[in-house]
Structure 1
Amino acid sequence: MPNRTERIMVRMTPRKKEKFEEYLEETGEYPSLSQLLRASANEKVEGRMRGGEGASIDAEEVTNAVEIAIGDVTERLERIEQEVARVDTAVQPDEEDIDTLADDIAVQLPVMDSGDGFKPGNDVLREATHGDVDGIDYARDISTVGAWSDYVDADANKTRRALSRAASWYPDVKWVHDDDLGERRYFRISEAE
Structure 2
Amino acid sequence: MTTRTEKIEVALTPAEKNELKDWVDATPDYSSMAMMLRTLAKKEMADDDGEQPAASIDEDTVEEAVESAITPLETRLERIEDSIADLDAVGQADDDLEDLAHAILTELPELDSPEDFESFHSIVSDDDLSEDDSYEYARRASTAEAWADYLDIDVSRARTALTNMVEWYPDAEYAIVDPVDDERYEINTDSRRYYRTA
TM-score, reference length from structure 1? 0.46
**Structure (1 or 2) with the larger CA radius of gyration:** 2
- Greater relative contact order (Cα 8 A, min sep 6): structure 1 or 2? 1
TM-score, reference length from structure 2? 0.45
